[in-house]
Structure 1
Amino acid sequence: MSRLRLLPLLLLAACASRAPEPPPASFRDTGQPIWSNAVFEPARIAGEWREVAAFAPPGACRPGGASIQPAAGGLEIRGRLCLGGRETALAGPLDVTGPGRLLPAGGTEPWWVLWVDTDYRTLAIGTPSGRFGFVLNRGGPLPPDRLTAAREILEWNGYDLGRLALF
């Protein structure tokens, strides 16, 4: 094939859009310890929550939200959250599996409540694998002091704050 015929093909290949990069396998250093909140009271998280931050590549998700309500077996969750750079729909039981540990219906990985403020207005949630982590808030905008506290606890549990997207 002559060079003149090959040139348009090379130009076309160079202009082709790339597939988006897959999210990283982990947003935290899994060599660091991680702790769930041992004094967490699951019944106090009932209500409406807005996702204010999540570990995700830039622009990967829109901010989500969830409604957590009491149910016969404990808690139920409905909503959509950005988990590891993917918008994820949630609907069904939210099981309490240990102190500060939750498992949503169909979930394969437990959510660990890493921090909650004393009035249960802001939650920082992560996973031992670091596959995702996020911050939920209710009652209006997230004040800077609670954002700082959530960031500090996420970092203390090995999360890379440079990959935390604020919504």
Structure 2
Amino acid sequence: MHRLKLIPLFLVLAACLQRTPEPTDLNFRDLGTPIYSNAVMKPDALEGDWTQVAAFTAQPGGCKPGKVRFGAPQGGAVPVRADLCLSGKRQGYDGRAALPAPGRLILEGAGTTALAAPWWVIWADVDMRTLVIGTPSGAMGFILNRGGPLPSDRLKAAREILEWNGYDLERLQVF
């Protein structure tokens, strides 16, 4: 009789053991594919307000598009204020980004959030109206635009660049 009472307990324990753990480190790109940053981009070209128009996500939805404001470069850094939707979660930052190489930024003191991954500008259109930001780790990727809605030709170019850098376009959410 006591054995019959233990069966439901064992079934519950077995069900818990079979659950797949939630991923802790998201990766949106094939790490075997090289990633390239824009080596000719000048930091002062970033200055101004940018609207997030797309981001990679594990599941669509979650939050509305965000914004990034880059200030004027100061030595080897640039002020950054970011409020982004990354993988369906709102993430913010207000501080400085180090500029270790052209087209690369590292947000100082960003902690362990996705924002702490080095930001690589993997593409910018000629007139600096659209930026594509990626990370070597594939932890995040997003598209920024300024001056109104993102035209379809620049979205197409941004998608091609992301794909060329190994990103899984199936997981790109356009806002």
In the superposition, the TM-score normalised over structure 1's length comes to 0.83
After superposition, residues 3-152 of structure 1 pair within 5 angstroms as 22=23, 25-57=26-58, 58-73=60-75, 74-107=77-110, 108-152=116-160
Instruction: Judge conservation of contact 1:90–1:105 (CA < 8 Å) in 2.
Output: no
Instruction: Judge conservation of contact 2:43–2:102 (CA < 8 Å) in 1.
Output: no
Q: How far has the Cα of 1:87 moved from its partner?
A: 1.5
> Which residue of structure 2 lines up, in the alignment, with residue 158 of structure 1?
166
Q: How far has the Cα of 1:120 moved from its partner?
A: 0.4
Q: How far has the Cα of 1:59 moved from its partner?
A: 1.0
SS at 1:29 equivalent:
coil
Distance in 2 between residues matched to 1:23 and 1:52, nearest whole Å: 25
Q: How far has the Cα of 1:22 moved from its partner?
A: 4.9
SS at 1:33 equivalent:
coil
> Which residue of structure 2 lines up, in the alignment, with residue 3 of structure 1?
none
Distance in 2 between residues matched to 1:152 and 1:86, nearest whole Å: 25
Distance in 2 between residues matched to 1:119 and 1:23, nearest whole Å: 37
Instruction: Judge conservation of contact 1:77–1:93 (CA < 8 Å) in 2.
Output: yes
Over 6 Å off, 4+ runs: none
Let me know the Cα RMSD of the aligned residues.
2.5
Between 46-55 and 24-33, the greater mean CA deviation after superposition: 24-33
Q: How far has the Cα of 1:104 moved from its partner?
A: 1.5
SS at 2:106 equivalent:
strand
Gaps of 5+ in 2: 1-7, 13-21, 111-115
Instruction: Judge conservation of contact 1:91–1:105 (CA < 8 Å) in 2.
Output: no
Amino acid at match of 2:84: L
Between 50-59 and 103-112, the greater mean CA deviation after superposition: 103-112
Between 80-89 and 115-124, the greater mean CA deviation after superposition: 80-89
Gaps of 5+ in 1: 1-5, 11-20
SS at 2:161 equivalent:
helix
SS at 1:82 equivalent:
strand
Distance in 2 between residues matched to 1:134 and 1:85, nearest whole Å: 12
In the superposition, the TM-score normalised over structure 2's length comes to 0.79
Amino acid at match of 2:29: R
